[in-house]
Amino acid sequence: MRKIIFIVLSLLMASAVVYAAIFALSDTLHVQLGKYTFNIPKQYSQEGALPHWLIITPGLDDGSKDYLLRFPAKEIVAAIPGYKEMDGRYTEDITAILAVLTSVEVKRYEDSERYRDLWNATGSYLERIVELYTHKPWFKIYRKIEYPNSWAVVSQSPENGALLPKDTLDFWVAHCLSGNSPLTKSGEIAICDSYVFYEDIVIDFSVSEQNLDVINDVRSYLKNTIENWRVAE
């Protein structure tokens, strides 16, 4: 009889543990992207609200699996001391796309050839305009027709005769687009699109220009967060 009672109690306790585990995971979404599974906290999910910049993001048009996320500025500031949380009434949350790439897309992200015109002042960059970036030894590169509203930011000068770097991330920082905003102190804002890429995973994201200086810290923060969510194979 005692043995039966012990078995029943053990089953009840096991059920309670399972229930508690399910309850604990109730705020987590199990997201399957390609061959990977991610346990994503619900508060970061932004599925169903694709931003305009995603439409022009390179590499996400060949059937890859992707997921829309938002990282609150307060959490980013805690992880990156140099990150600015606000600009007037504009909150510096980060919208990002997590994607698992196809082999074709991986090559596209690795290969810098899509920036050859920018680097060599050919094609649409034939009459390019190059300016020094304000806070870092970077450079702004404009198509003449888009000046001064749209520009690329690179970490190496394309004007010193150097060959186009083979790896995009050896020189590529972001692409920025300026516009008006009723929320910022100046009434203007520049949004810069960039990414962090590793293995066959890419995180495309945007920050305002006032946080571009810490973009490498942002890349590390996003990568580490995503890796913490990835379920070990």
Retrieve residue 210's tokens: 């006032």
The 3-class SS string of 172-220 reads EEEEEEEEECCCCCCCEEEEEEEEEEECCEEEEEEEEHHHHHHHHHHHH
More confident residue, 150 or 55: 150
For 85, the 3-state DSSP assignment is coil
- Does the pLDDT value for residue 65 go beyond 50? yes
At 80, the pLDDT band (50, 70, 90 cuts) reads very high
Q: What is the mean pLDDT of residues 168-196?
A: 96
Among 153, 157, 150, which Cα is nearest to 213's? 153
Q: Amino acid identity of 88?
A: G
- Does the pLDDT value for residue 107 go beyond 80? yes
Whole-number pLDDT of residue 26:
65
Whole-number pLDDT of residue 1:
43
Q: Give the pLDDT confidence of 135-170 residue by residue, as tens digits.
A: 899 999 999 999 999 999 999 999 988 899 998 989
- Does the pLDDT value for residue 212 go beyond 80? yes
Backbone angles phi, psi at 43, to 5 degrees: -65, -15
Pairing outcome for strands 36-41 and 86-87: unpaired
Q: Give the pLDDT confidence of 221-231 residue by residue, as tens digits.
A: 999 999 999 99
- Does the pLDDT value for residue 103 go beyond 50? yes
Q: Give the pLDDT confidence of 6-15 residue by residue, as tens digits.
A: 233 333 333 3
Q: What is the mean pLDDT of residues 1-21?
A: 35
